[in-house]
Structure 1
């Protein structure tokens, strides 16, 4: 068995120790966590798009026949799906399972944060910046003004919560609504692949309706009720944080209701065709 020379082993230990010091003292030190997280989110988005491109070339025959803008949207939706799974899982953890925002915790819950919660929000900010940049660059091919407004409001609110540490609980409540993104993206993938008449497409439409109802309608109602119960804590936030807690969820709720009406119409139209032969 080949052994590593003692000098080489010592050099490797020295480099590892230097890397640990760099990560601990700078990249993951409290003052630098937001910036490290945002940069990590941007890099992760780029990697996700590139990975989506490579996977699609080898495993999806329809990918090569797409136009340039369609391939861009295909890759971009793959990236947004990965972010949605990541942020939804962690948001559910912080809102419902973590003790960080428990009513029995110490201090006002509107001012509570942790290194993990701040890093999570930073990654999400990196995603919103990346996705908004792509949408604006190809505007309006990848989304109209509603998408620009949605991403701008979400990005500003998440960034403020990340940097100030205020209102992170409500930020995570809103971010749970990202659970609808994978279903919306899957609908686009199926349409692009010519599978609008398939059983999978029908099931996906029902899942969109259920996920939207739970995460963007009922959960927002719970959010507003929670704000009402803890208003005495919210009024102690900075004026900007106070503004964002009320304005951003309300604006998003209005857009959610508008989109939900379209989803309901789409589900009705799809279910009306269920007696027709469906392909799997």
Structure 2
């Protein structure tokens, strides 16, 4: 005869209560936006501290940095972790999932959504809030006005898309551009570590050029073409939804082109020094 101790019964009771809490509240459709934003904020803190901890143990350069350099070092680790998560999720939803496929003509592509979409967008909103808070707190050490504009536009567009359910396809297309963030951060790490003349720095520069060209230039051109092909659906969105779809990607695209010009100039300068 199997006997169950009071401790086992207490553990099972706590597990049952936790399952009810998660199912009925944390993962219930009405609460996913809020729990995912909170999760994004918590994940941002964890990623920041994880970067600090790992850097203390494995990177000798870290100990010799100034206080603000260590803060930026940790912040860039946080942004890289978020970028890997959201760009991978966005690539899956846009190109591999059938959620936004034109093979489903029964509803408008501009109104399609899923719990996974809402969760991913919420995590990104939490990250943008956390990063904006740090940028304002240490302004302008972690980024100037262009970073404030970029993060503010991104947070507004992502939050609106998450809560309204409109234009999530185009939001994820924009978020794919985060795939360039780890390379940009790696460039800063190499520079800070005194490896600006290394082969790794040059290779990283070439990777940045290719990734930026594909994810922040050509992909945006593809997105504008997609909007043009589905214009009849886009114009039936709410007025603010149409503004987000037309204005935010256009503003980001202009900024991407300006930064791309600087990337080309920097790469050419680096290659010229090596000849």
- Indicate the TM-score class for this superposition, using the shorter chain for normalisation: over 0.9
Pairing of 1:198-237 with structure 2 (within 5 A): 198-237=198-237
Q: Distance in 2 between matches of 1:251 and 1:121?
A: 20
Aligned length: 273
Query: 2: distance between equivalents of 1:157 and 1:237?
Result: 14
Report the alpha carbon displacement of residue 270 of structure 1 after superposing the two structures with TM. Answer: 0.9
Structure 1 unaligned runs (5+)?
276-280
1:113-124 matches, cutoff 5 A = 113-124=113-124
Distance 1:4 1:246 in 2: 66
Aligned match of 1:16: 15
Query: What SS does the aligned partner of 1:213 have?
Result: helix
Give the ranges of 4+ consecutive aligned residues of structure 1 lying more than 4 Å apart after TM superposition: none
Deviations 1:153-198 (A, max 9, x none): 0000000000111100000000000000000000000000000000
**Superimposed CA distance per residue, residues 58-77 of structure 1 (whole angstroms, 9 cap, x where no aligned partner):** 11111111111100000000
Matched, 1:60 2:45: no
Cα distance change on mapping 1:13 and 1:63 into 2, 3 Å: same
* Cα distance between partner residues in 2 of 1:71 and 1:4: 55
Distance across 1 between alignment mates of 2:135 and 2:4:
53
**CA offsets, 1:201-250, max 9 Å, x none?**
00000000000000000000000000000010011111111100000000
- Looking at structure 2, the residues matched to 218 and 164 of structure 1 have their Cα atoms a distance apart, in angstroms, of 28
Q: Deviations over 1:40-75 (max 9, x none)?
A: 000000001111111111111111111111000000
CA distance in 2, matches of 1:80, 1:217: 21
1:191 alignment counterpart? 191
Moved more, 76-85 or 6-15: 6-15
Partner of 2:32: 33
Shift of 1:5: 4.5
Q: Report the 3-state secondary structure (helix = DSSP H, G, I; strand = E; otherwise coil) of the residue aligned with 2:245.
A: helix
Which residue of 2 is the match for residue 278 of structure 1? none
The residue correspondences of 1:131-210 to structure 2 (distance < 5 A) are: 131-210=131-210
Per-residue deviation at 1:4? Answer: 8.6
Does the residue aligned with 2:54 lie in a helix, a strand or coil?
helix
Matched residue, 2:103: 104
Q: Cα deviations across residues 111-149 of structure 1 (Å, max 9, x unaligned)?
A: 110001100000000000000110111111111100000
Using the TM superposition, give the Cα deviation of residue 273 of structure 1 relative to its aligned residue in structure 2, in angstroms. 2.1
Mapped to 1, the partners of 2:87 and 2:246 lie a distance apart of 21
Alignment of 1:79-98 (within 5 A): 79-98=78-97
Distance 1:50 1:146 in 2: 26
Q: Are residues 1:255 and 2:251 paired?
A: no
Larger deviation, residues 75-84 vs 5-14 = 5-14
What is residue 47 of structure 2 aligned with on the other side? Answer: 48
* Secondary structure at 1:119 match in 2: helix
Whole-Å separation in 2 of the counterparts to 1:213 and 1:266: 15
2:77 corresponds to which residue?
A: 78
Identify the residue that residue 244 of structure 2 maps to in structure 1. Answer: 244
Cα distance in 1 for partners of 2:71, 2:119 equals 28
